[in-house]
Amino acid sequence: MSKSLHRGPYPHTRMRRMRSDDFSRRLMRENILTVNDLIYPMFVLEGQGEKETVASMPGVERLSIDLLVQEAKELVQLGIPAIALFPVTPQSAKSEFAEEAYNPNGLAQRAVKAIKDACPELGVITDVALDPFTVHGQDGILDANGYVLNDRTIETLVKQAASHADAGVDIVAPSDMMDGRIGAVRQALEENGHVNTKIMAYSAKYASAYYGPFRDAVGSAGNIKGGDKFSYQMDPANSDEALHECALDLAEGADMIMVKPGMPYLDVVRRVKDELLAPTYAYQVSGEYAMHVAAFENGWLNREQVILESLISFKRAGADGILSYFAKEAAQLLQKK
């Protein structure tokens, strides 16, 4: 406690003095949000000229690859460094063993190629997990009792990650929470000559009800067998466990680690950054987006101010970057300022 108290109390110290002018507020500002902090998650659909709204995420659209590419060009213009792609798999392509996940001509793989062709400078991140491809909506392959099999699932995740790398993705982001998958994916990338493909590990991914609107967006909402992901995603009550998970993923070869969800878990972001000193990201997830937009649309919160305030809170917590459905709008707001 209190290195600052040697300055003596009021009126010697008036905290408001430094807040009284714009120039002094700028001089003492500790954190800054820039476009370089932003990653934009996007949903991709089959078809041509197709665009669909997501009921629980007003303002977010699922786009076919041609429209996705147009949007990507706008993001490059805005200076956004990277996007995260999520495919909306037609029901007919889903299966028990998620074979579509590693189809070299799958939607995600085609989207990666199209975007890298049109916008080579834009970083492209793909999700590595099986939930968009399984009939049961779980992130892995099930045994007869509905338990997600760890090692069997990893075999498929490795094929999925390799197919994304072959398609030219810059970053693979395993979001499945199987044990050991980062090491297995890293080894496969090395063996296939993809030595510079980066891994952003969803390391501290909580079993959160804030993912509800996302499952609606990718169409896995209705069919999660068992209804929860408690046997692999983390208990929201824990944070030591998050450090343990992040340390393991770094040891296995992750380049970046992630905490997810975002705002309810900023204490975890701070601990992870302080203890592990690695590039650290946080995901302001679909439910966080939905609740903000609901308040904006009711006129209960000021949209522009709250978007920027919500994002600076991640920087203050120590995040190096933020995945946010507000990324594009935030980039536009930052440009205006």
Q: How far is the CB of 179 from Mg ion (least distance, A)?
A: 6
* Residue 205 falls in the annotated catalytic set: yes
Q: Which residues of 288-301 are buried (b: 16+ CB within 10 A; e: fewer)?
A: bbbebbeebeeeeb
Binding partner at 245 among ligand PBG, Mg ion, none, C-beta below 5 to 8 Å by kind: Mg ion
Instruction: Specify the residue for token string 């975890």.
Output: 268
Helix (H) or strand (E) holding 183: helix 181-191
* Residue 113 falls in the annotated catalytic set: no
Binding partner at 214 among ligand PBG, Mg ion, none, C-beta below 5 to 8 Å by kind: ligand PBG
Is there a contact between 44 and 322 (Cβ–Cβ < 8 Å)?
no
Is 245 near ligand PBG (CB under 6 A)? Answer: no
Binding partner at 138 among Mg ion, ligand PBG, none, C-beta below 5 to 8 Å by kind: none
CB-wise, 116 or 229, nearer to ligand PBG? 229
96 is in an annotated binding site: no
Q: Name the one range near ligand PBG by CB under 6 A: 2-10, 13-21, 95-103, 209-217.
A: 209-217
Q: What is the DSSP letter of 36?
A: G
Q: Tokens standing for 33?
A: 């949000």
Q: How far apart are CA 60 and CA 62, in angstroms?
A: 7
CB atoms inside a 10 Å sphere around CB 68: 22
124 alpha carbon, distance to own chain's centre: 12
Contacts with ligand PBG, 174-203, as mask; x by CB under 6 A: -xx---------------------------
Q: How far apart are CA 112 and CA 103, in angstroms?
A: 13
Contacts with ligand PBG, 269-298, as mask; x by CB under 6 A: ----------------xx------------
Q: How many CA atoms lie within 13 A of 68 on its CB side?
A: 33
Interface residue list for ligand PBG (CB under 6 A): 127, 129, 131, 139, 175-176, 211, 214-215, 285-286
Which amino acids are annotated as binding site for Mg(2+), given as ranges?
245
Please give the positions annotated as active site. Answer: 205, 260
Which amino acids are annotated as binding site, given as ranges?
245
